[in-house]
Structure 1
Amino acid sequence: MLKNFWYALEFADKVGREPRRATCLGQEFVLYRTEAGTPICLSDLCVHRGGSLSMGTLNGDCIACPYHGWQYDSDGACVKIPANASERKIPRKARVDAYPAVERHGMVWAFLGDLPEDERPPIPDIPQWGDPAFRAVQTEMVIDANYERTFENVVDASHTPFVHGTAFGNPAKPEIPDFRIRSDDWSAEADIQLSPPPPKGLWGWLSRNKPRPEYVTVTNGWYLPNVVKLHVRLPIGDLILYDFNIPLSQDRTLVKILGFRNFFTGAWADRDARKRIEKILLQDRPVVEAQRPELLPFDLSDELHVRSDGLQVAYRRRRAQLIKDGWWVGGDDVVTGGAPQRSATIIASPARRDNPELASAWVHKARNPGDPR
């Protein structure tokens, strides 16, 4: 898992004045909005006794723990301890990690890392968001597989005729012509020609008078750390999917999808569009969940690659460089609880870098339901 990136944690319309839990990189966060509407992302665990802040309440722009009422401001600092006498000062280490958060492209993003603002990678661009020519739908699904497996699955064009059959691919013509990859430090994409199946259902009926092309151009792309794009040019218009592969843990992924179309843009077609997207996910899920090894190998030579795997190879090479640069979630990001084999991921927030004296001032332990003490 990669740190020091912006992660889309939730659909923007799901984040409001009610605290909401989100999980990413094995860590739990609480999301909410200030009275002015600004999204806030804090670590979900109260530093006092490990209460879940997402179960708490808001008091202005502060969030109160449901256990003992400790209140934290939007920067993560504790500003009130109800049990304290008025003359008692609040300890400096009474705070939780606060992560930069923004709303963009219909998602709430949080920067999970401690890099200074001018060193942070960009948020991927989604130009269809806000474009009146496109209609968007949302859907999501949990897949019991590592997020890099679900991530690579979408940019893998050659699986389409076999996993999706005549629903999305054409098993009679599985060949992938050579393609050219366009890339920079944070993304890669390619235009790939695929033989399409005949459209079925509502879309097939409504496009029955349109000629069927021999090939369609599909743009597959990835955007670090966990976003993939699938752009299918259909005879009736463009279907563009953005998959946010959120790593809940090493072996579970929450896939959130924004699906855009510039055809049948009325609300009446949303249900059908969502159903088609979910069908693709349901076809992929058992195949990806059964992949071995469960985690993506670190060495490029540990799996066999062919020319049609170019986008995956580009990702793995860039990933290897980022691991070398220290951006991989590793031992320094894990704390261990009181019982054996209980651990939790804690991604250091910018406050720890900005204030070296606070770098180890507050540490959350893992939840420990199995401790017999």
Structure 2
Amino acid sequence: MLKNFWYAIAFAHEVEHRPSKVTCLGQDFVIWRRRNGTVACLSDLCVHRGGALSMGTLVEDRVTCPYHGWEYEADGSCVRIPANPPGRGIPKKARVDSYPVVEKYGMVWAFLGDLPEERRPPIPHVAEHGDPSFRPVYWQTVLEANYERAMENVVDAAHTPFVHGSFLGDPDKPEIPDYEVTQDEWHAEADIRLHPPVSKGLWGMLAPKRLDHVVVTNGWYLPNVVKLHVRLPFGDLILYDHNIPLSQNRTLVKLVGYRNFFPGRWADGNALKRIRRIFEQDRKVVEAQRPELLPYDLAAELHLRSDALQIAYRRRRQELAEQGWFLDDGDVVVGDVPRREATVIPSPARRDNPELARAWVHKTRGDDHEPARSAE
């Protein structure tokens, strides 16, 4: 799993003026919408006795621990300890990790890492969002598989005739012509020609009985977003999958689908039905894949020219692993009780404020004295 990226952790329309728990990279976070409309994101862990802040309430714009009533601002600082008598100060260590948040493209994005702003990778660009000719629908599900397996499945065009035969692909024409990958530091995509089956139902009313081929654009955006753009005879269907790693072997998929045909709300149900059908066909295969985690060694699995997008992704993740952007033992804290472990993603405040860098003292594996640190 990769740190130091923007992660879409929630649909923006679901975030309200109340605490809510979200999970990403094995860590729990509490998010809430403040009265000015912006969203706050903290580690879901009161520094006092480990209460879950997401179970608390809001006092104005501050989240309150349900256990002892400690109140935290959006920057992670504790500003009230009810048990303290009047005049007693609040310890500097009374704070939790706070993470930068941006609301964009219908999603709430949190930066999970400690890089300074000028070094952070970009949020993937979604050109269709806000375009009045496109109508979005939102859907989510939990996949019992690693998020990278889920990502590779979407950009893998060669599986379409077999997993989605008679719906998206033609099993009698499974060939994938060679294609060119366009890539930059954080993104790659390719236009791929596929042979579709005959369209049925609502879509079949507008489509010709038989198309020789359609061009789809498959792409990935680091760290966890994949795009599928299908050019139909009557319009465009564009799906963005945000594959949120709940843990190494569990993924929350939040999908936004855009279409510029049948733009009315009346067609949303049909669009969601087709999205669910596609995804459920994929689920059976992806959840059964072995090994569960993507190998680091490119030679560990056999690759073909039709796997060019996946190969590009694996090479780039290998580079990032060498740069220290993968979660490692330094991001796992261990308590005094054996085998009690948790992921803790360092926040920018640890780097920005040296005086408070040791305010959150966690025990790391094999060391009872040093706090958890992120890789540079």
TM-score (norm 2): 0.95
1:145–1:288 contact (8 Å) kept in structure 2: yes
Give the Cα separation in 1 of the matches to 2:99 and 2:149. 27
Alignment of 1:20-169 (within 5 A): 20-169=20-169
Give the Cα separation in 1 of the matches to 2:257 and 2:54. 28
| Residue deviations 1:261-300 (CA, integer Å, cap 9, x gap) | 0000100000110111011111111111111111111111
Give the Cα separation in 1 of the matches to 2:259 and 2:221. 20
1:168 match: secondary structure: coil
Aligned to 1:329: 327
Give the Cα separation in 2 of the matches to 1:365 and 1:285. 38
Aligned to 2:261: 263
1:47–1:364 contact (8 Å) kept in structure 2: no
Structure 2 counterpart of 1:343, which letter?
A: E
* Alignment of 1:305 onto 2:303: yes
Q: Which moved more, 1:42-51 or 1:240-249?
A: 42-51
Give the Cα separation in 2 of the matches to 1:132 and 1:201. 26
1:343–1:365 contact (8 Å) kept in structure 2: no
Aligned to 2:372: none
TM-score (norm 1): 0.96
Structure 1 counterpart of 2:290, which letter?
A: R
Q: 1:218 to 1:41 in 2, by over 3 A?
A: same
Give the Cα separation in 2 of the matches to 1:86 and 1:118. 42
Give the Cα separation in 1 of the matches to 2:278 and 2:209. 24
Aligned to 1:183: 183
User: Of 276, 279, 302, which residue of structure 2 is paired with 1:278?
Assistant: 276
1:254 match: secondary structure: strand
| Residue deviations 1:45-79 (CA, integer Å, cap 9, x gap) | 11111111111111122111111110000100000
Structure 2 counterpart of 1:37, which letter?
A: G
Give the Cα separation in 2 of the matches to 1:310 and 1:268. 39
What's the % identity of the aligned pairs? 66
Structure 2 counterpart of 1:150, which letter?
A: A
Give the Cα separation in 1 of the matches to 2:234 and 2:270. 15
Aligned to 1:357: 355
What displacement does 1:360 show? Answer: 2.9
Give the Cα separation in 1 of the matches to 2:140 and 2:267. 18
User: Of 206, 210, 213, which residue of structure 1 is paired with 2:211?
Assistant: 213
2:155–2:219 contact (8 Å) kept in structure 1: yes
Give the Cα separation in 2 of the matches to 1:193 and 1:227. 22
What displacement does 1:356 show? Answer: 2.3
| Residue deviations 1:184-222 (CA, integer Å, cap 9, x gap) | 000000000000111112211x215x4642010000000
Q: How many residues align?
A: 364
| Residue deviations 1:114-144 (CA, integer Å, cap 9, x gap) | 0000000000000110100001000011010
1:98–1:351 contact (8 Å) kept in structure 2: yes
What displacement does 1:19 show? Answer: 1.1
Q: CA RMSD in A?
A: 1.2
2:52–2:66 contact (8 Å) kept in structure 1: yes
Aligned to 2:243: 245
User: Of 319, 324, 329, which residue of structure 1 is paired with 2:317?
Assistant: 319
Give the Cα separation in 1 of the matches to 2:340 and 2:276. 35
Aligned to 2:252: 254
Give the Cα separation in 1 of the matches to 2:336 and 2:284. 36
1:98 match: secondary structure: coil
Aligned to 2:14: 14
User: Of 341, 344, 348, which residue of structure 1 is paired with 2:342?
Assistant: 344
Mark the runs of 5 or more structure 2 residues left unpaired by the alignment: 365-376
Structure 1 counterpart of 2:67, which letter?
A: Y
